[in-house]
Amino acid sequence: VFEAAAPATVFVTQTQVVQDFAMRTVEVPAGAGTGFIWDSDGHIVTNCHVALADCGKLVPARKLSVTLYDQKAYEATLVGADPFKDIAVLKIVPTDKLVPIRQVPADYELVVGQKTIAIGNPFGLDHTLTTGVVSAMGREVVGIGGVTIRDMVQTDAAINPGNSGGPLLDSRGQLIGMNTMIFSNSGSSAGIGFAVPHTVIGRVVPQIIEKGRPTRVGLGVSILEDAQARRLGVKGVVVERVAASSPAGKAGLRSATRTPTGWTVDVIVGVDDERVQAYDDLYTTLEDKAPGTKVTLSVLRLPGEEVLKIETELIELD
- Residue 97 inside a domain? The answer is no
Distance CA 182, CA 161 (A): 9
- Cite the DSSP H helix spans in the chain: 2-5, 48-51, 198-211, 226-231, 247-251, 279-286
Question: If phi over 0 gives left and psi between -120 and 50 gives alpha, with beta otherwise, what is residue 38?
Answer: alpha
- Residues labelled as active-site residues: 49, 86, 164
pLDDT of res. 284: 86
Assess whether 143 and 241 both reside in one domain: no
Distance CA 74, CA 288 (A): 35
pLDDT of res. 188: 58
- Residue 288 inside a domain? The answer is yes
- Residue 57 inside a domain? The answer is yes
Distance CA 29, CA 137 (A): 35
Query: pLDDT tens digits for the chain (318 residues)?
Result: 999 999 999 999 998 666 666 666 666 666 789 999 999 999 999 999 999 998 888 888 989 999 999 999 999 999 999 998 999 999 999 999 999 999 999 889 999 999 999 999 988 788 899 999 999 999 988 876 667 888 899 999 988 888 999 999 999 999 999 999 887 655 556 689 999 999 999 999 999 999 999 998 999 999 998 888 888 788 999 999 999 899 999 999 999 999 888 889 999 999 999 999 999 899 889 988 999 999 999 999 999 988 999 999 999 987
Q: Which of 34, 191, 13 is nearest to 127 (CA)?
A: 34
pLDDT of res. 128: 93
Q: Given 211, 242, 264, which residue is the final one in a domain?
A: 211
pLDDT of res. 142: 83
* Contacts of residue 39, Cβ cutoff 8 Å, sequence gap at least 6: 98, 100
Q: Which of 290, 288, 295 is nearest to 312 (CA)?
A: 295
Q: Given 157, 176, 211, which residue is the final one in a domain?
A: 211
**β-strand 174-182 against 102-103: which pairing, if any?**
parallel
Assess whether 152 and 201 both reside in one domain: yes
- Residue 96 inside a domain? The answer is no
Residue 144's CATH number: 2.40.10.10
Q: How many CB atoms lie within 10 A of CB 181?
A: 22
Give the chain's domain count.
Answer: 3
Q: What angle do CA 122, 124, 125 make, to 5 degrees?
A: 70
Segments forming the whole domain that contains residue 52: 2-91
pLDDT of res. 232: 79
